[in-house]
Each structure stands twice: as structure tokens, then as C-alpha cells.
Structure 1
Amino acid sequence: MTLDRIIDRHAAFQPAQPALADERLSLTYGELAGRIDRMAGGLSGLGVTAGKRVAHLGYNAADIVVLLFACARLGAILVPLNWRLATPELVYALQDCGADLLIHDAAFGDTAAAICTEAGLQHRLVLDGAAGTAMALETMLAGAPALPASGNTEDGLEQPLLIVYTSGTTGRPKGAVLTQAALLANAQMSRHAFDLRSTDHVLTCLPMFHVGGLNIQTTPALLSGARVTLQSRFHPGRFIEAVERLRPDLSVLVPATIRALLDDPAYMGADLTALRAVGVGSSVVPPQLIAALEARGIPVLQIYGATETCPLAVYETMAMRGACPGTTGRPGLLCDIRIVDNTGVDVAPGIAGEIWVKGPQVLSQYWNAPDATAAALVDGWFRTGDIAMRDADWNVVVHDRKKNVIISGGENIYPAELERVLEEDNRIREAAVVARRDPRWDEIPVAVVVLAEGAVLQREDVLALFDGVVARYKLPRDVVFVSSLPRNAMGKVQHHILRELVAADRQSAA
């Protein structure tokens, strides 16, 4: 059964149940099912058939979700584009996936026209208005015949449904291909992690061009018959207002949005008690950010995963929350985890190694990249490139990206361990540790520090924080002060930019 038919079934059971809303649309399950019918019919009339790629460029909107389920019905593939990318990067994604159609917000009309021209793409629709010669989506829907689901969907779950381009920090991004079965398995694990119920209300504020915004709670909620409200973009004040007014049960945040929330003047006086849980992830989450939310009575569940895992792979559940402080969670309900050394051999508890993930939610391939697929998938195991260790009960502690590991004098140094020391000091707002080339040690760790407002720290003060806390070979040898850390759309620190920064700053360590 394809995913769109699950929405049909929910509509049959509860047609008047609120399903999906944004600033423009508010749909019950009956209305959502009908809009999927018309979206599928309209896309079919434009020549979108099984295997065709439909790209989207714009902010969060209900019609992105409608488009996803319409693609599921047609066997087509949705390609959500990161609107923060530069024009050449967007053109590359369109050309790489061979998109047949672009649907975009009117706000991105000029960008859409430019990238379609450069990519040689002739067909585009405007999601929320009109832009030049592009057809308005509402015009298409108004004239589209309904295309209900057919009964011949036995193999539908194995069809590719999403191509999500990774936010790779080096080289060209890769398009991770996720099937309908992957999204369904991911939804089952989301239900397990968050105790997700049909009576729940999810507030989505993270961008849905990433699997975090789209798949941690949004699609699982709809596949569970729950209610979803979308915010077009995250803004701390609007998030607080929505929690107080709409009383949602669940949401997902990343470190960058948590920091913005904590800094908002309305945060401390806000009534956030409606939230049964907030999922946090996308990178190693500083403990003090979790503690700040918990102090306001907001239960926090950590999540670990990747674009290629849809993204759930390791997580905490409501039942186990806080039972193992410092850990990220346990392997997900439907997937297996290995932690291996450089030769692919499993390491013992307490030893750091690379995380490998295997399960129905893992990507089937990288689009148009057989070599990259072969390098990433080993007998069905996805090699994440992330470093972690576990205890005997499989509580997992995620350290860092494998490529971020610093090898100094032959010893491995995990930046996340040093970053935790820095972030425990309230005079430091945020920090990262990266490698700098060194003629004697090959690499040395360098701390990049953002001071809290009004704080005054010198290089020696920062280095002193590590005295007696970590082994001498791990000690940072230098400190670089910056006003902010460079981050991508999901709040992940862009370590490649920091490595360039510390390479340019040649202040020698003592």
C-alpha cells in the first residue's frame, strides 16, 4: 500500500479531523485526501509519471506535503531544494536529478526563473501566487481532474519517493534516494520514540527541505492520523506564540534554534507546558541546551541520524529519557547499529568507532552516483562517517564526524569531548574545536570560541579550562575568538570553514 492510501484510510475513518495547516491553508483529513487527488491529477496532466522528478523550492507549506503524497500516488519522486543554496548549487541539483518540473514560492520567482533557464527546465508552477509566465498551482488544481488511488499498488512501497541532497561540506552534494518503505519505517520509529498518537498535534518549524523537518515528526504524524501545523520559517517569537496559542504536543529543534529560543525576551515568561516532548538533534547537542529546556519543564528526547537514514537511527524514548545521562539513545526499533574500527571490525563497548546503520529506512542509493553508493553501502550497511561508542547495554554516545577527528602525534582526539568542556563555562556562548596543521604533531586542536555577552576571556583563560580535565595530548594549543560559528540550514557547524579560519590565524600556541 502506497503512503497516499494511508492518508485515504485516515480520511475514511476521520474526515473532519484536522490534518494539516500553514499560514494559508487549513485541511481536514477529508480535504487533504481530496487535495492529494487533485494534485496527482494535475501533475499527471503535466506529464508527471512514475520515476519523474518534481523539484520544490520554497519555505515550509502544506502543499509540499500534498505534493509528497501525490508523488507517492504517481510513483514520482519529490526533490526538495534548499532555498539557502546559491544559484549554481541549485542548478547543479536540478541537472543532477534531471527534474521535469519545478514548483516554487512566488518569493523565489526570480531565482526559479534563473535556475530553470540555466538548467534547461521548461516547466514550473508557482505555489502561492503568480510569477511571470509560470502557471499558478491553484489554477492547475482548479482545472485538474481528481486522480484517486488505484488498487494496483503492491510494489509501491519499494518506489523511490524522495531525493534529498546532502549538505556535504566538500565536493558536490549527493542526492540520497529514499523509498516509500523508508519513510514508513521511519514513521514507525518516530511513533516509538515520541509515543506519537493520533490525538497529537505536531508543530513543525524546521525546514522541510531537510529530512529532519520533513520526517522526524511531520510525515510520521500524518501517517498516524495526527495533526500538523507548519511554520514557514523558524522564528523564536513566532514559535513561542504558536506553542502558547495552539498548545501542540510535540516539536523538533536543533542547537541553533534552541539558542535563539533561549535568547528571546519572551522565553522565560512563556507558557510552554503544552509540549509533551521536544526532539533535538542534527549535531551533537550541548548538555547545557538540553538542561535549559528541561528546566522550563520541556522534556527533551535526543535523536541521531543522517539524511541517508531518513533520519532516525538512534534515539531516546519517553520511557528511557534521562536514564543514561550523556548518551544519545539506543538503536532504533527497526534498524541495527554497528560501531566499527577502520577495518570494519566491531569494537568493544567503551571503544570509539564509526557508526554503521542497516534497516528499512536507509537510502537505496545516491542518485546517479554508483561509485559513491558503493563506497557508502557495505552489504546494506550505511557507513555514516560519524564516530561514537556504546556501553554494554547499547546506550550510544555520539562523538563527532569521522572527518573531524584530529590525529595529533598518532593519537585520536574527538573535538566534541573538548567542546563539552568549553560549553560548560557560562562565559562561553558556543565553541568548536578543529585541527590545524602542525610540523611536529601533524595536527593540533584549536578552540574557536564565541563569548557570551559581556564576558571577557583571554586565550590563557580558555586553555586553563582543560587543566586536569582531559589528557595532556588532547589539550587545545591555541584559541581563536569569533563573533559567531558558521552553520548550515540545520544548525550544524561548518567545520571546513573553521579549519580554513584557524589555518589563516597563525598565532602559535605556547
Structure 2
Amino acid sequence: MRLKHLLWESPAAGSERDCIGDERGILSYQETDIQARALARQLAEAGIGEGDVVALMLENSVELLLGILAAWLLGAAATPINPTFTERELNYQLEDSNAKLLIADEHTSVAANGLAIARLDLADIRARLRGPVAAGSPGGPGSPGSPGSPVGPARPGSPLPTPETPADQLALLIYTSGSTGQPKGVMLDHANLHAMAEGLATHTAITADDRALVVLPMFHVNAICVSWLAPMLVGGSTVIMPRFTPTGLLDAIARFRPTYFSVVPAILAKLVELPRDTPVDFSSVRFVICGAAPVSAELLQLSADRFGLHIIEGYGLTESTCASACIPLAGPHKIGTVGPALAGQRIKLTDPDGNPVPTGERGEVRISGPTIMRGYLGRPEATAETIVDGWLRTGDVGVLDEDGYLRIVDRIKDMIIRGGENLYPKEIEAHLAAHPAVLESAVVGAQHPQLGEVPVAYVVLLPGAEATSADLLAHCAAGLMKVKVPARLTLVDDLPRNPVGKVDKPELRRQTPPVAEPVRQRVSA
């Protein structure tokens, strides 16, 4: 099996085509290979070998990708770490992953429980980033941004042989967000990554002429798979934003002229909030993938109308390597769904006992295929609970239609049980999104002495829009049955989010006071 998601197996391997870059410049495939091997030699000198784990605590950058490639060249696995982690969070991931080395930059000041922090000639790598990334064709030799004279090795040393990487070799340890209990290390091997990159590239018709822009943090699989491994598998290129800001994204689009990028709904919301007279030019962008959290039809329409973007929704989990369903680029775009299963994967819906439910009925989403994780590191019981007979239990409630399009109803754990009746926050949020003044909302359960739980809502208004809590509760009462109308609705400036940009509902629930009195539609500003 040829693992084309690996740099040295890519169709563009060893060529002068653009490979990876950031705001400081770009490296060709040839230059990327030279730099990755030079870094791998340094890792080998530090004692890294096959089966080890290398931790990387770096912002989105060329150096981060080179560090992952260097680990793979030695048969080691990589575990990217959120660069904003506290010392406690960092040490938890280092100890749980049994990392042998931490690669960090000069800004890292937290202690790593005695583990060596390797600062491995990152300045040398930066010095070899050539020129600014051009705004022309993303292509190869002769195109704007293509390399000049060849570069030599970053450091002298004996040649590093190209490995024969086994498909079942551990490649990444990606840690879940830890919304319940401690974060778990998701084990992904090279077969998982290749299947994911190939499925994404095929589904979105990515070619060597495509250039992805990394907008999301690269300590999660979305950015790694969608925006790096998929284009590398076909010989395309990747340019990296260190972090997202609305104006920064517009500048990056204008400068780098990417053909696609991946976002979460919160990013679309921030773009829509930009002043109407903000100049934008998305003419180079073929499509945008939106995932990681449900997105309202209204926000999709606002984004498409204002920016002319072709936005396709996708769905997946870290445990399924990234995406398992996605709206087709050409074909039915059923608003409110996340599309059919990607090629090679299967989706079924089951009742609590694991029995399939009929088409059109709600059930737990289960996934099978070559992208399903090897398991949770050091947690066989949690793995056995999550992967049953080869099917990944997602914990999401969904509905499949007659065409195999999946609609996510909610998370099982987010379901609100009000006096014995199951309520799905996503349904309430979708109705709130239909109000012209609402930008986004989050609904969670609040404790209630008689009913157990009742729904409460937190709402962010569109810039310049005016609406009171009473207005929005009246809107809910007009379109939702009485038990679904929030018992309390609070207008807020923003919603708490986890590092991936999803609304942090566990935190929101922790911040939510009980509703003590008999349920009437209470309002607060």
C-alpha cells in the first residue's frame, strides 16, 4: 500500500512544486523533504526512534508540520499540544502519551516535569523559508512563488534513508477536548490518515493545483487532515495562518489565493459580523468546508449571500480520523444535513440496544470503515465501550433520509429530560436562528426542583440588530411546543468555546444557575 499522504510518497515528492508555507514564506516539496530529514537527524541524536512519541507545543506554523514529518521519518508518533495550555494541562498530555521529547519554541515557558524541551534549530528553518508566498497560481515550477536555486541540507550529517512506513504504525495521538473527565489520547495510524486524506481528496476533487489555507488549530485532526494531508496526497500545497482573526483571514485570502479552507461555524459568525463596507475577495476559493459543530441554515445563507462562498457541511469525530459525512460539491445540497457517508465509510443509526432504526427515525449515529481509530491510549475499557463490533459509537443522535443524508439532531449527553420528556437543544437553537436578529445561540438544561431539567437559552444578536429576551421568547412560543420554550433566555456578547471553536456546553452548564420557581418564561438581559 502506497501511503501517499506521506511527503516522500506524494506524487510531487522531491519536486519544486510549492508544498508548505506560512506568512513568512514557502518551501517546495524538495525543500520540505530536506528540512524534515535535517530535523529528523536532530531527533535521532536526541534518542528518538521507532515507537517513540514526540510532543509538539507550537503555534500553527511550518515548523509544526516539519516536526510531525520528522517524527514519521523515524517511525515515531506525534502528539500536537495546544500552545495555550497551562503547565498542568501540558504535563497531563506529556505523561499520558509517554512522550519522550517535547519540541517547543522560545516562547514556551511552562515546565515539563523534567522532560527535555527541544528547541531544534527552528531559527534555521525560518531562515530557509523563501520569500513571501505569492498570490498567483498555487502550482509548480515557473509559477509565482516557485523556488529559486536549490538549497542544501540544513545541517551536515549522514543521509537519512526513506523509511518503509507500515500502514499500521501509530502516526498521531490526538487528545479529545475532555468535556467529560480527563482528555483521552486517540490513536490514529497511517492507514487511518491515508484513508481519510484519500476520501477527502476524492470527495472534494482536490488536485495538484489546489492550495489549502489552514485556519483552524493544528493540534486537532480537522486542520491536519483536511488542509494538509489531503492536498499533499495529490501534490497540492498548504499555507498556514498562525491563528484566526476575521481581518487576518481576509488578508490571507487576498495574499495566498487559496482554493479552499475549513472552518467552524464560529468563524462564519465572526465574518458575518464584519462591517458591511469591509472589502472582500473570495474569487479564488472553490469551496469551504464547515464542520466540528452544527451550523444553522440562516448562518450558511448569510455567509453565502455576503461572500459568495460555496459552503459544504461535514461531520465527523477525532475517533473517526476527521470526517465521515459531507455534502457533495456537485449534487443535492440538503440544508440541515451533513450529507452522505464518505466513500469507504458506513453510517447506521441504532436504538440504545444497538438495533438499526428505520429510515427517518432518530437513533445513535454509528460509523465503520478504515478511518476508525485504533483505540484510546491506555484505556481498553473506554475503547471497548466506544467501538462495538467494529462500529464507532459517536454519542450523537441523528436521522438518515432515503438518500442516505445524515441530519444530526443532538448529542445524547446534551439531551434535556424535562419531566420525563426528551428535548433536543439543537431544535430550539435552530428555531432561534430563524429570528432575523439572532446570530447564534446555545441551549442547555438547567436544574429544576419539580421537572428535573428545563431548557435555558443564551443568545448572541447580530451586530446592529435589536431584540429583547421577551421578543425572542415570543418567537419561540410561536413555533415550539410549550415544553420546548426556554424557561430563561439571556442575551450575551459571546458564548464560551473550547480550543476547537465549538460552543463549550459543559462549561455553559456549569455556569447556569437552577431555575427554582415554577416554570414561566423568565427573561434576563
Pairwise same-fold verdict (TM > 0.5):
yes
Q: Which amino acid aligns with 2:205?
A: D
CA change 1:502–1:319 in 2 (3 A) is: same
> What does 1:164-243 align with in structure 2 at a 5 Å threshold?
164-243=174-253
Deviation at 1:42, TM superposition (A): 2.2
Deviation at 1:70, TM superposition (A): 2.5
Q: Which residue is equivalent to 1:263?
A: 273
CA change 1:270–1:457 in 2 (3 A) is: closer
Name the CA distance, whole Å, in 2 between partners of 1:106 and 1:504.
45
Q: Which residue is equivalent to 1:407?
A: 417
Deviation at 1:455, TM superposition (A): 4.4
Greater Cα shift, 372-381 or 474-483? 474-483
Deviation at 1:175, TM superposition (A): 0.5
Deviation at 1:213, TM superposition (A): 1.3
CA change 1:505–1:487 in 2 (3 A) is: farther
Q: Which residue is equivalent to 1:21?
A: 21
Q: Which residue is equivalent to 2:60?
A: 60
Name the CA distance, whole Å, in 2 between partners of 1:47 and 1:4.
27
Question: Could you tell me whether the CA contact under 8 Å between 1:3 and 1:72 is conserved in 2?
Answer: no
Name the CA distance, whole Å, in 2 between partners of 1:98 and 1:41.
21
Any idea what the Cα deviations from partners look like across 1:8-62, whole Å, max 9, x if unmatched?
Answer: 2447666111111113341111112222222222222221111101001121111
Name the CA distance, whole Å, in 1 between partners of 2:368 and 2:11.
33
Deviation at 1:403, TM superposition (A): 0.5
Question: Could you tell me whether the CA contact under 8 Å between 1:166 and 1:175 is conserved in 2?
Answer: yes
Q: Which residue is equivalent to 1:73?
A: 73
Question: Could you tell me whether the CA contact under 8 Å between 2:49 and 2:75 is conserved in 1?
Answer: yes
Name the CA distance, whole Å, in 2 between partners of 1:357 and 1:127.
42
Any idea what the Cα deviations from partners look like across 1:141-180, whole Å, max 9, x if unmatched?
Answer: 5244331214x44xx1111100000012121000101000
Name the CA distance, whole Å, in 2 between partners of 1:2 and 1:126.
30
Name the CA distance, whole Å, in 2 between partners of 1:406 and 1:11.
50
Name the CA distance, whole Å, in 1 between partners of 2:268 and 2:218.
18
Q: Which amino acid aligns with 1:509?
A: V
> What does 1:302-341 align with in structure 2 at a 5 Å threshold?
302-320=313-331, 322=333, 324-341=334-351
Which one of the candidate residues 114, 117, 124 is aligned to 2:118?
124
Q: Which residue is equivalent to 1:88?
A: 88
Greater Cα shift, 47-56 or 477-486? 477-486
CA change 1:468–1:380 in 2 (3 A) is: same
Name the CA distance, whole Å, in 2 between partners of 1:342 and 1:245.
50
Name the CA distance, whole Å, in 2 between partners of 1:166 and 1:237.
29
Question: Could you tell me whether the CA contact under 8 Å between 1:11 and 1:30 is conserved in 2?
Answer: no
Question: Could you tell me whether the CA contact under 8 Å between 1:478 and 1:507 is conserved in 2?
Answer: no
Structure (1 or 2) with the greater helix fraction? 1
Name the CA distance, whole Å, in 1 between partners of 2:93 and 2:264.
25
Q: Which amino acid aligns with 2:255?
A: R
Deviation at 1:79, TM superposition (A): 0.3
Partner SS, residue 338 of structure 1: strand
Which one of the candidate residues 158, 176, 183 is aligned to 1:145?
158
Deviation at 1:105, TM superposition (A): 2.4
Any idea what the Cα deviations from partners look like across 1:242-297, whole Å, max 9, x if unmatched?
Answer: 21232211111111211222223477531111100000011001222211222122
Any idea what the Cα deviations from partners look like across 1:394-449, whole Å, max 9, x if unmatched?
Answer: 11101222100111222221111110111121222321111112233221111112
Name the CA distance, whole Å, in 2 between partners of 1:235 and 1:52.
35
Deviation at 1:80, TM superposition (A): 0.3
After TM superposition, the score normalised by the length of structure 1 is 0.91
Q: Which amino acid aligns with 2:161?
A: P
Q: State yes or no: 1:351 paired with 2:384.
A: no
Q: Which residue is equivalent to 1:110?
A: 109
CA change 1:49–1:299 in 2 (3 A) is: same
Runs of 5+ in structure 1 lacking a partner? none
Q: State yes or no: 1:282 paired with 2:276.
A: no
Name the CA distance, whole Å, in 2 between partners of 1:267 and 1:256.
21
Any idea what the Cα deviations from partners look like across 1:322-346, whole Å, max 9, x if unmatched?
Answer: 2x22211111111111111111111
Greater Cα shift, 12-21 or 434-443? 12-21
CA change 1:267–1:49 in 2 (3 A) is: farther
Any idea what the Cα deviations from partners look like across 1:364-416, whole Å, max 9, x if unmatched?
Answer: 01111112111111122111111111112211101222100111222221111
CA change 1:468–1:297 in 2 (3 A) is: same
Q: Which amino acid aligns with 2:155?
A: A
Greater Cα shift, 223-232 or 69-78? 69-78
Partner SS, residue 242 of structure 1: helix
Runs of 5+ in structure 2 lacking a partner? 129-152, 521-525
Question: Could you tell me whether the CA contact under 8 Å between 2:11 and 2:233 is conserved in 1?
Answer: no
Any idea what the Cα deviations from partners look like across 1:194-233, whole Å, max 9, x if unmatched?
Answer: 2111111111111100111111221111121001111111
Q: Which amino acid aligns with 1:142?
A: R
Name the CA distance, whole Å, in 1 between partners of 2:393 and 2:424.
18
Name the CA distance, whole Å, in 1 between partners of 2:479 and 2:359.
22
Deviation at 1:3, TM superposition (A): 4.3
Question: Could you tell me whether the CA contact under 8 Å between 2:184 and 2:377 is conserved in 1?
Answer: yes
CA change 1:221–1:442 in 2 (3 A) is: same
Deviation at 1:459, TM superposition (A): 3.5
CA change 1:235–1:468 in 2 (3 A) is: closer
Greater Cα shift, 38-47 or 6-15? 6-15
Deviation at 1:501, TM superposition (A): 2.4
Partner SS, residue 512 of structure 2: helix
Q: Which residue is equivalent to 2:134?
A: none
State how many pairs are aligned: 495
Deviation at 1:454, TM superposition (A): 4.6
Question: Could you tell me whether the CA contact under 8 Å between 2:419 and 2:452 is conserved in 1?
Answer: yes
Question: Could you tell me whether the CA contact under 8 Å between 1:205 and 1:231 is conserved in 2?
Answer: yes
Greater Cα shift, 201-210 or 343-352? 343-352
Q: Which residue is equivalent to 1:244?
A: 254
Deviation at 1:85, TM superposition (A): 2.6
Q: Which residue is equivalent to 2:480?
A: 470
CA change 1:92–1:196 in 2 (3 A) is: same
Deviation at 1:238, TM superposition (A): 1.9
Q: State yes or no: 1:299 paired with 2:310.
A: yes
Partner SS, residue 218 of structure 1: helix
Name the CA distance, whole Å, in 1 between partners of 2:78 and 2:491.
42
Question: Could you tell me whether the CA contact under 8 Å between 2:12 and 2:235 is conserved in 1?
Answer: no
Partner SS, residue 162 of structure 1: strand
Name the CA distance, whole Å, in 1 between partners of 2:14 and 2:120.
31
Question: Could you tell me whether the CA contact under 8 Å between 2:5 and 2:229 is conserved in 1?
Answer: no
Partner SS, residue 183 of structure 1: helix
